[in-house]
């Protein structure tokens, strides 16, 4: 079953982090930034967990249809258990509560604060994400993007290495920031889609934000005027 992508949030403080002005942004690097990644399943309905074998399945968006004599909750064992080798199915019930899965990890994080307001921080963030990947010639899946409100107001866009511990990609991005900004501007200006497409802002990992993405908001941010 195809699942919604997990969400990642930057949960660290910015003590002893120095920002610098760079091409319409204030940027800073945190080499061991803490991030929290979680998945709430399809439709945010969560997952169900077997009381006995530990098998976990996403809670379906629609009530399941049962056929024949199969009982609700019957499922295959999570793994082969010799003691129960004669029965391929586990008949234990699921817990009566939904669960979500998540974990905390550290990685290189580039904190980006726009110097002026953008109509859509998600559009700007994913445009910068694509510009970064183009300049570094890496796959879109190697770097992630997250968003939060900065202490004292304003938005923060966090670009981070997806590999736990960090591969140094966003560290290099900080050094090549002017190239990334120029490439970002080119991407949104040269695309001929109406609002957003898979050539400029959309990708599988940001499908949660697809309805909000608009390349014209990014063009307006860079030009200093509203569309």
pLDDT digits (tens, 9 = 90+) for 81-126: 555 555 667 777 778 888 777 778 889 999 999 999 899 999 999 9
What SS3 state is found at 62?
coil
Cα dihedral 189/194/195/201 (nearest 10): -60
Closest among 61, 218, 205 to 146, alpha carbons compared = 205
Total-model pTM: 0.74
Residue scoring higher pLDDT (188 or 84) = 188
pLDDT at 30: 92
């Amino acid at each position: 079953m195809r699942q919604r992508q997990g969400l990642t949030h930057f949960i660290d403080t910015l003590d002893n982090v120095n920002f610098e002005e760079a091409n319409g942004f204030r940027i800073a690097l945190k080499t061991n930034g803490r991030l929290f990644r979680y998945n709430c399943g399809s439709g945010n309905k969560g997952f169900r967990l077997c009381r006995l074998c530990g098998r976990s399945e996403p809670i379906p968006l629609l009530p399941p249809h049962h056929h024949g004599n199969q009982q609700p909750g019957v499922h295959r064992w999570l793994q082969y258990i010799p003691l129960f080798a004669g029965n391929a199915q586990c008949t234990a019930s699921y817990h009566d509560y939904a669960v979500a899965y998540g974990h905390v990890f550290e990685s290189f994080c580039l904190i980006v604060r726009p110097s002026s307001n953008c109509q859509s921080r998600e559009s700007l963030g994913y445009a910068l994400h694509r510009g970064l990947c183009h300049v570094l010639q890496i796959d879109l899946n190697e770097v992630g993007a997250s968003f939060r409100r900065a202490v004292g107001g304003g938005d923060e866009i966090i670009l981070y290495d997806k590999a736990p511990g960090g591969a140094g990609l966003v560290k290099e991005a900080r050094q090549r920031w002017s190239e990334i900004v120029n490439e970002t501007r080119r991407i949104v200006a040269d695309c001929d889609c109406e609002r957003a497409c898979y050539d400029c802002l959309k990708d599988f990992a940001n499908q949660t934000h697809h309805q909000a993405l608009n390349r014209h908001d990014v063009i307006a941010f860079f030009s200093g005027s509203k569309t």
